[in-house]
Structure 1
């Protein structure tokens, strides 16, 4: 016989994968949004009107503050659903009365219109029923019922946008635009293999039912899962394990000719620029080509001695660097998707190494070679 504890564990849903501080953040936001909307509505339309409209609005507050990333909680579904539901409820109440079947019909028609207008929002259904089964105070408003309804929604949305952003939450959720470092039609390297947008659209279509998660949000979940799996498979490799330690450095006073000589001798494409022991910039082949070509063109200035071009004049001062303890899976997007060819590795302020795309490939190859024998040993021998 199963114990009482195990029986309860079977019956109860799994725990929310949300940290408790997010519970508190959502609770405080819902309190502030609902109170402010109800208070302003009571000042303008009366306390009775405000109290009778708080039910659907409370459900909306839960969505916009606690499930803010979902498609049902975005501003257009919230605003559009309330407007559609209120208008449908008012129209059916005027034409058919305030019976129970009329309220059910208003809910069904509102649901159809919300789906067609891409503004599906569950509390909108409650608003349709409220408009049909209105108390005398709401009935007295007539067609003006839409005014307090929209006031409540707009105030709640304004509080949600301000509060969510002040507490570090992106709301409304904007579509994530992929960075295109090369300005071509090719997808990002990380998207050429694995799950792409078409796969997600097809998967959602095959489900054939309502799913409270948008494609962008689903893609973020899949990518986060893949990063966790990649981190586990890389076995804790860090930048220090794959970086080149004999780093060729230049200073802001290094000349163009000296930099070219170092790149050619060591077959490099980039040189970190260091001053006073700190990384202050980086120069690449593309930074040096234009000054070199300009110096090679004949001009009347050739009759005079030219001042040498220094790295301070051509270096890029915005440098993306990593720490020696950074895990390898953090480096992959930087070198694969952001158009970077190398990453200086810092220990504090000092440059202790550099990671190129070649270093990264070599490290991944070594990891694959270490993993494959372990997998082969797990195979069942042929009989």
Structure 2
């Protein structure tokens, strides 16, 4: 009799846990704010200038895959400038740490499907440990292995590009009286 009661109790607990889990997948109501047309115009100008400079660097170093990584950074900078992941420390250090993960992984492991996965995983671990989490850094690590980069990749074009895009965004974002960037540098 005791076994039956325990089994029934366990079954109810499992069912309740499953229902709670499925309810969480539903999400919450949207929290969209009204669109600020002036902000959209400033963002467009900033993205144009930032990505234009990044494309110039990309062509200079014949590294076209750099553009998507820093393009994702531009989206964060101009659409979520107040996020911790968009602050200068996270952008610059996050890209540099990720580039290091990519280059070191390539140096020791070569270009394999698993070495690319390892580099991105290592980048996430290192960004977390250095408190510099920046999601586009995963692409920076991927590019480092996939294109077989040397250690110079960490400083130029990656660090240089991250610094340029951060400085340009600070200049553009602060034109608007409603916005302040950055919240902190370090």
- Give the 3 Å change call, closer, same or farther, for CA 32–130 of structure 1 in structure 2: same
> 1-side partners of 2:135 and 2:53: how far apart?
22
Match of 1:160 in 2: 169
What TM-score, normalized to structure 2? 0.76
1:143 is matched with 151
Q: 1:71 & 1:18 partners in 2: Cα distance? A: 22
> Which residue of 2 is the match for residue 112 of structure 1?
125
Displacement after TM superposition at 1:94 (Å): 1.2
Counterparts of 1:24-39 in structure 2 under 5 Å?
24-39=41-56
Q: How does 1:1-383 map to 2 (within 5 A)?
A: 14=30, 16-21=32-37, 22-43=39-60, 45=61, 48-49=62-63, 51-134=64-147, 139=148, 142-146=150-154, 147-168=156-177, 169-174=179-184
Cα distance, 1:113 vs structure 2: 1.1
Per the TM alignment, residue 128 of structure 1 is displaced from its structure 2 partner at its CA by 0.7
Indicate the SS of the match to 1:166: coil
Residues 90 and 143 in structure 1, CA contact (< 8 A), matched pair in contact too? yes
Partner Cα separation in structure 2 for residue 69 and residue 111 of structure 1: 21
**Is contact 1:114-1:120 (8 Å) kept?**
yes
Gaps of 5+ in 2: 1-25
Mapped to 1, the partners of 2:90 and 2:34 lie a distance apart of 24
CA distance in 1, matches of 2:169, 2:162: 10
**C-alpha separation in 2, matches of 1:87 and 1:81:** 10
Length, aligned pairs only: 156
Q: CA RMSD in A?
A: 2.2
CA distance in 2, matches of 1:157, 1:18: 26
2 CA distance for matches of 1:159 and 1:143?
A: 26
Deviation at 1:157, TM superposition (A): 0.8
> How big is the shift at 1:91?
0.7
- Asked whether the equivalents of residues 102 and 145 of structure 2 are also in contact (C-alpha less than 8 Å), the reply is yes
- How far apart, CA to CA, are the structure 2 residues paired with 1:37 and 1:90? 20
Given that residues 57 and 157 in structure 2 are in contact (C-alpha distance below 8 angstroms), is that contact kept between their aligned partners in structure 1? no
Q: Tell me how far apart the structure 2 counterparts of residues 72 and 26 of structure 1 sit (CA, whole Å).
A: 18
The structure with the greater share of residues assigned to helix is 2
- Structure that is richer in strand per residue: 1
Q: Which entry has the higher C-alpha Rg, 1 or 2?
A: 1
> How far, CA to CA, are the matches of 2:184 and 2:125 in structure 1?
25
Alpha-carbon distance, 1:17 to partner: 0.8
Tell whether the 8 Å contact from 2:58 to 2:66 is kept in structure 1 after alignment.
no
Asked if 1 retains the 8 angstrom alpha-carbon contact of 2:42 and 2:172, the reply is: no
